[in-house]
């Protein structure tokens, strides 16, 4: 890297071998997603981002590694992991011959962002991935078979839960306690144990995020989604639903944008993720706080699997709820961050 008078981050990254460029671009993308308000720049002739006129974080390429600094303060668990990569000068180094720990890098940026906002006395936390104390959580909730499927094979608008999938929701209609979820949806009849959990969940609901495939299979719920506001993550907006009074907000620029908008709409209540693909994308982006799964006593053998495509690194969970009820077991987990 002979040149030192860089005018842009693009120009800086372009001077490195392809392997290094790929790693730097991944770090760059993570920083942008966690701190969308930050602006990239060249500082001390390496890549950096600034926020509110002050440097937020630097990242650089070297012969055998890439580096990020400064190292922020975090939880004991976070600090212990970071220590493996620290070089003692406030910098972390990630070897190029090892898989880049994207989840750890995302945490580094998050903690650095919190430090930065505290130091500059700017309370912008509600506009990025570190929610302030008044914001609700991002949670997932869905019914799943014991072998991990949320729908059977061949699901379609005419076969909503796939072959055999209707049995997943037997617990919705096998009790003696009525629960009305929303207009346009059937009144549920569940057990007393399940009714208590459903009522608590409905009280904390602030906004929901669904995937386009579920939206299509449900035929837009006839214009009456299970809850509102209802954000639909999609590549193409269905124009017939872009009209005054539509209950849907369509988001085309990714899961992080959808969740950010949903959190703004939800205020101090929770954002609920309602489909497998949205959960998987949100887990990859480290945006999920809690996962609630209602396990049906059923083996489907095939169909739409819930826990797929959420990254290569293990995700630690802490059990926060186990409730046995007729025809279902309600499980809840906090995502350890």
The yes-or-no verdict on residue 77 having pLDDT over 90 is: no
**Cβ-count burial of 99 within 10 angstroms (0-12 exposed, 13-18 middle, 19+ buried)?**
exposed
189 has a pLDDT exceeding 70? yes
Where residue 15 falls among pLDDT bands split at 50, 70, 90? very high
Residues 6+ apart with CB under 8 A from 297: 146, 327, 328, 329
For domain 138-335, the CATH architecture is: 3-Layer(aba) Sandwich (3.40)
Residue ranges covered by each domain of the chain:
9-127, 138-335
Note the helical H segments in 62-166: 76-83, 102-119
Q: What is the CATH number of domain 9-127?
A: 3.90.1150.200
Residue 187 is classified by DSSP as P
Q: How confident is the model at residue 192 (pLDDT cuts 50, 70, 90)?
A: very high
Length of the chain: 337
Q: Per-residue confidence at 226, pLDDT binned at 50, 70, 90? A: confident
* Mean pLDDT within 94-123: 80
What number is the average pLDDT over the span 188-193?
A: 94
Residue-wise pLDDT tens digits, 230-285: 999 999 999 888 877 788 889 998 999 999 888 888 888 999 999 999 999 999 88
Q: Hey, is 105 helix, strand or coil?
A: helix
What is the average pLDDT score of the chain? 87
Is a pLDDT exceeding 50 seen at residue 123?
A: no
Residue pair 337/307 in contact by the 8 Å Cβ criterion: no
Checking if the pLDDT of 118 tops 70, the result is no
Backbone angles phi, psi at 151, to 5 degrees: -160, 155
CA–CA distance, 325 with 309 (Å, rounded to integer) = 30
Looking at the whole model, is its pTM more than 0.95? no
Domains 9-127 and 138-335 share a fold: no
Mean pLDDT of 49-63: 91
**pLDDT, tens digit (0-9, with 9 covering 90-100), for 142-165:** 999 999 999 999 999 999 999 999
């Amino acid at each position: 890297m002979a040149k030192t008078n860089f005018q842009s981050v693009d120009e800086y990254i372009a001077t490195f071998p392809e392997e290094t460029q790929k790693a730097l671009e991944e770090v760059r993308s993570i920083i942008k997603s966690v701190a969308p308000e930050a602006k990239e720049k060249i500082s001390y002739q390496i890549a950096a981002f600034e926020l509110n006129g002050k440097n937020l974080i630097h990242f650089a390429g070297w012969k055998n590694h890439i580096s990020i600094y400064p190292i922020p303060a975090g939880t004991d668990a976070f600090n212990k992991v970071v220590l493996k990569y620290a070089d003692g000068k406030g910098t972390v180094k990630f070897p190029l011959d090892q898989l880049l720990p994207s989840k750890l890098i995302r945490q580094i940026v998050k903690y650095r962002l919190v430090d930065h906002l505290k130091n500059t006395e700017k309370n912008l936390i509600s506009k990025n991935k570190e929610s302030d104390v008044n914001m609700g959580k991002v949670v997932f909730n869905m019914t799943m078979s014991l072998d991990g499927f949320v729908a059977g094979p061949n699901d379609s608008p005419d076969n909503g839960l796939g072959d055999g999938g209707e049995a997943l929701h037997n617990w919705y209609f096998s009790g003696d306690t009525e629960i009305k979820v929303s207009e346009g949806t059937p009144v549920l009849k569940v057990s007393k144990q399940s009714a208590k959990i459903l009522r608590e969940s409905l009280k904390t609901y602030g906004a929901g995020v669904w995937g386009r495939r579920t939206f299509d299979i449900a035929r837009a719920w006839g214009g009456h989604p299970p809850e509102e506001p209802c954000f639909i993550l999609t590549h193409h907006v269905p124009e017939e639903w872009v009209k005054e009074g539509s209950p849907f907000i369509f988001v085309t620029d990714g899961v992080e944008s959808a969740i950010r908008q949903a959190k703004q709409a939800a205020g101090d209540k929770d954002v609920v993720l309602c489909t497998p693909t949205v959960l998987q994308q949100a887990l990859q982006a480290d945006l999920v706080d809690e996962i609630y799964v209602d396990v049906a006593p059923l083996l489907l053998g095939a169909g739409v699997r819930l826990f797929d495509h959420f990254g290569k690194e293990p995700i630690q969970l802490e059990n926060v709820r186990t409730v046995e009820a007729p025809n279902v077991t309600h499980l809840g987990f906090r995502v350890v961050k």
